């Protein structure tokens, strides 16, 4: 009783479905498969192409190829004369040349017998005088899609005269070369076939329904050819013309729609809703397809989900664990695994790329074989074909083609990137204009907006916005904003190096540091502006507002204050004098006297090296190197560059000390000589005194002599007087007086 009730309930449900799915007027649609197909090649007259996986047509200067196909009409009612309302030929176009313009072909009836295994260019059947269909145009837009051609007249004639069913021939017009799937194709399994719509067989007759419980258990089949090959498959549901037509042992499958799961045989737990959904599936399991042509070509792959028109349509059995939601999402994927596409046309062109995630309309649309990409946002990674890119935001990395390892977060971030690799852009329009630059990092709105260089880092709104240079670093709003061709610049701070365009190797630290510099290079600015637009090789620290400077790493605690020196390598430092830091201590001695051979000069610096044109005093490094090499500092090329002026004072002190010692010795000698001189002078004075005394004696002697002379004269007179005086007694007193000196 329970079995009977179950059958009754199932028939009631099926009848309800029939009412919903019946074609207008009770018409029904059937499919006639290809019984044989082949093509001939004019340049290979003895070669049979009956086993080829493609049908080729061509008309070129050197080659003509004609495709032939014949159809099995046994699926139609017999006889079918008068029952054919419409018949359409379905062909799957694989390739077409020329790609720019495409070409045309005609469809002829074959009017004599031929066999798939024997036909060749030297043995061909005859064709009708005129084509049934003329000038069918195909172009690149028709590739990997079906052509549907109306051949109602031919099929009606074959039904009226079955013996005339020799099939159809495709004949290319001049210039066309094209290929179609043959019935031997295993990659896409889209063989030529006829879709025939039959008229009603009579009033009240239900011809769309085939309810079958005789093979397998718990199956529901509604529609012509549904589950017609089932053997032991159970718990299947097929609704629609030819749905689950080839199923044999597959279980828990649901096919709703004409040709849904048509070729399915053994796979389990598949769900197909829509015209031709999962039509080519043979043994794949756990697939879900919702939408016309969704997962159409999949024969063996499992665990795919396709929702939307033609979603995962070309999946040919080598791709698994894909999820496609949206019209034509992952349409052309053939062998890629682990892809997720959410949005119309998302990952549409993907063929064998794997582990991609695309969320948004046209996200990763052009990706073919790139893997491990993530695109979230309308048009994100639209043109990408490379690997390991991440785009989050509308149009992020939109034009990327082969660039890999890029990350774009924000609307239009890395939009123009095509082949640049390893770039990171976070912020709306960040790195928007980058096309081929590599290893750039941009964080902030418009950061590296129009960048084309490599190895740049920009953090801040519009930082490095217009840069085409390389190896620049800008941190701060508008940092290095105007730089175009500059390279190896570093700017840290709001508007730091904002005016630089072509300058290179500049460093600026601090708000507006380096402002005013345009083309200068090799400058360092710390909280300081530039001296001129083109200055180079300059270091500026601080501004006029600063009143004190403290620099660590130079001062040593051994003394309270000391001078700061710079060596030839540019290192700043002080000189320690304690013997604790010294060895090989010895007096300078006579070597220091070479300092006296140096030539002091006056000079002006050359204008190209400094703006200071005041008169200078100093030494010439080359002359010093020749006379006293220990005082000359050399550059990296071994050329004299400067003088160790701080050593001059010690050498001069040594010379001064030597002179001082000499002076002291001279002073002692002079003192000794002075003493000798003093003694000599005293002696001379004494001699002079003695001489004076002698002179006095001489004077006295002279006086005495004069007196003696006077006395002598007196004596002479006296004698004369005496001679005349009368007597001697009278002159005795006079004699006595003369004798006493009177």
Report which secondary-structure segment, H or E, holds 95. strand 84-97
d(CA 576, CA 582): 9
β-bridge partners, 197: 29, 86
Residue 432 corresponds to which tokens in the numbers above? 């928007």
How far is residue 374's CA from residue 381's CA, in Å, rounded to a whole number? 8
Beta strand 54-59 pairing with 177-181: antiparallel
Q: Any idea which of 236-250, 264-278, 301-315, 553-567 has the lowest mean pLDDT? A: 553-567
**Confidence grade of residue 561 (pLDDT, cut at 50, 70, 90):** low
Q: Compute the radius of gyration of the chain from its Cα atoms.
A: 60
pLDDT of residue 657: 87
DSSP annotation of 162: G
Residue (of 445, 420, 365) closest to 398 by Cα position = 365
Compute the distance between CA of residue 721 and CA of residue 334 in angstroms, rounded to an integer: 185
Span of 20-29, 43-52, 134-143, 722-731 with lowest mean pLDDT:
20-29
User: CB neighbours of 665 closer than 8 A, spacing ≥ 6?
Assistant: none
- φ, ψ of residue 92 to 5 degrees: the values are -100, 115
Render pLDDT for 156-194 as a digit per residue (tens, 0 to 9).
Answer: 999 999 999 999 999 999 999 999 999 998 766 688 999
Q: Token pair for residue 566?
A: 């710079």
Write the pLDDT tens digit of every residue in 382-412. Answer: 999 899 999 999 999 899 889 999 999 999 9
pTM over 0.75: no
Least confident interval from 200-204, 260-264, 456-460 = 200-204
Compute φ and ψ for 530, nearest 5 degrees. -80, 155
The DSSP string of 384-451 is --SSS-EEESTTTTTT-SS--S-EEESTTTTTT-SS--S-EEESTTTTTT-SS--S-EEESTTTTTT-
Q: What is the distance in angstroms between the CA of the first residue and the CA of the last residue of the chain?
A: 212
Helical (H) or strand (E) element with 624: helix 621-627
d(CA 85, CA 23): 12
Of the candidates 502, 498, 474, 475, the one whose C-alpha atom is nearest the C-alpha of residue 486 is 502
Give the tens place of pLDDT for each residue, 271-314: 999 998 988 888 999 999 999 999 888 888 899 999 999 998 88
What is the model's pLDDT at position 263? Answer: 85
Length of the chain: 742
Q: What is the pLDDT of residues 577-614, one digit of tens each?
A: 778 888 888 888 888 888 889 999 999 988 888 777 89
What residue ranges do the domains of the chain occupy? 25-198, 220-286, 565-578+588-643, 669-738
Under the banding of pLDDT at 50, 70 and 90, the label for residue 351 is confident
Q: Extract long-range pairs of 275-281: CB within 8 Å, 24+ residues apart.
A: 275/240, 277/306, 280/188, 280/189, 280/190
For residue 493, give the nearest of 517, 509, 473 by alpha carbon: 509
SS3 at position 596: helix
Q: With 50 as the cut, is the pLDDT of residue 18 above it?
A: no
**Of 174, 63, 65, nearest to 119 (Cα)?**
65
Tell me what the pLDDT averaged over the chain comes to. Answer: 86
């Amino acid at each position: 009783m329970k079995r009977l009730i179950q059958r009754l309930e199932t028939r009631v449900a099926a009848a309800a479905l029939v009412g919903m799915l019946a074609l207008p007027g009770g018409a029904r649609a059937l499919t006639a498969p290809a019984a044989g197909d082949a093509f001939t090649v004019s340049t290979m007259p003895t070669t049979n192409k009956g086993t080829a996986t493609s049908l080729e047509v061509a008309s070129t200067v050197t080659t003509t190829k004609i495709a032939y196909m014949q159809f099995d009409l046994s699926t139609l009612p017999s006889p079918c004369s008068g029952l054919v309302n419409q018949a359409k030929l379905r062909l799957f176009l694989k390739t077409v040349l020329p790609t720019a313009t495409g070409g045309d072909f005609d469809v002829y009836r074959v009017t004599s017998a031929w066999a798939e295994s024997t036909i060749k260019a030297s043995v061909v059947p005859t064709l009708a005088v005129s084509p049934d269909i003329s000038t069918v145009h195909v172009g690149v837009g028709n590739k990997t899609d079906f052509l549907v051609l109306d051949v109602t007249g031919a099929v009606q004639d074959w039904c009226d005269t079955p013996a005339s069913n020799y099939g159809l021939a495709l004949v290319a017009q001049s210039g066309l070369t094209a290929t179609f799937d043959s019935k031997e194709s295993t990659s896409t399994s889209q063989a030529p076939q006829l879709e025939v719509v039959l008229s009603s067989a009579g009033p009240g007759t239900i011809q769309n329904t085939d309810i079958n419980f005789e093979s397998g258990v718990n199956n529901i089949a509604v529609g012509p050819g549904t589950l017609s090959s089932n053997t032991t498959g159970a718990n299947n549901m097929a609704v629609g013309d030819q749905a689950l037509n080839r199923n044999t042992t597959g279980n828990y499958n649901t096919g709703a729609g004409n040709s849904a799961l048509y070729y399915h045989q053994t796979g389990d737990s598949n769900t197909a809703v829509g015209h031709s959904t999962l039509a080519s599936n043979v043994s794949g399991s756990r697939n879900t397809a919702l939408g016309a042509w969704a997962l159409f070509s999949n024969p063996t792959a499992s665990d795919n989900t396709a929702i939307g028109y033609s979603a995962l349509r070309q999946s040919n059995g080598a791709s698994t664990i894909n999820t496609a939601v949206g019209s034509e999402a992952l349409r052309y994927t053939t062998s890629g695994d682990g892809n997720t596409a959410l949005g119309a046309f998302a990952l549409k062109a993907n063929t064998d790329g794997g582990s991609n995630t695309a969320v948004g309309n046209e996200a990763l649309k052009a990706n073919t074989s790139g893997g491990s990409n993530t695109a979230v946002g309308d048009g994100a990674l639209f043109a990408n074909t490379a690997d390991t890119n991440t785009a989050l935001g509308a149009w992020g990395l939109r034009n990327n083609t082969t660039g890999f390892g890029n990350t774009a977060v924000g609307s239009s971030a890395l939009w123009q990137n095509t082949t640049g690799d390893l770039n990171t852009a976070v912020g709306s329009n960040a790195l928007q204009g980058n096309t081929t630059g590599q290893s750039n990092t941009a964080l902030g709105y418009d950061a590296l907006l129009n960048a084309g260089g490599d190895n740049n880092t920009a953090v801040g709104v519009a930082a490095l916005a217009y840069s085409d240079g390389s190896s620049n670093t800008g941190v701060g709003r508008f940092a290095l904003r105007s730089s175009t061709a500059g390279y190896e610049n570093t700017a840290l701070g709001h508007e730091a190096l904002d005016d630089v365009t072509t300058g290179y190797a500049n460093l600026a630290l601090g708000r507006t540091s380096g402002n005013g510099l345009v083309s200068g290079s090799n400058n360092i600015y710390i909280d300081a502006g530039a001296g001129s637009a083109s200055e180079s090789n300059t270091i500026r620290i601080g501004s006029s507002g600063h009143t004190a400077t403290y620099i660590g790493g130079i001062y040593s605690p051994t003394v309270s204050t000391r001078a700061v020196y710079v060596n030839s390598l540019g290192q700043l430092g002080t000189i320690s004098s304690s013997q604790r830091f010294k060895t090989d201590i010895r007096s300078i001695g006579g070597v220091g006297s070479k300092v006296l051979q140096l030539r002091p000069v006056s000079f002006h610096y050359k204008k190209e090296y400094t703006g200071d044109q005041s008169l200078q005093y100093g030494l010439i490094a080359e002359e010093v190197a020749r006379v006293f090499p220990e005082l000359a500092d050399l550059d990296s090329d071994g050329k004299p560059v400067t003088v160790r002026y701080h050593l001059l004072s010690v050498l001069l002190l040594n010379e001064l000390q030597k002179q001082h010692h000499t002076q002291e010795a001279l002073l002692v000698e002079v003192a000794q000589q002075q003493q000798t001189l003093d003694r000599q002078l005293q002696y001379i004075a004494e001699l002079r005194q003695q001489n004076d005394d002698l002179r006095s004696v001489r004077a006295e002697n002279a006086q005495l002599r004069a007196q003696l002379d006077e006395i002598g004269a007196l004596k002479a007179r006296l004698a004369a007087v005496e001679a005349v005086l009368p007597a001697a007694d009278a002159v005795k007193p006079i004699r006595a007086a003369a004798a006493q000196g009177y």
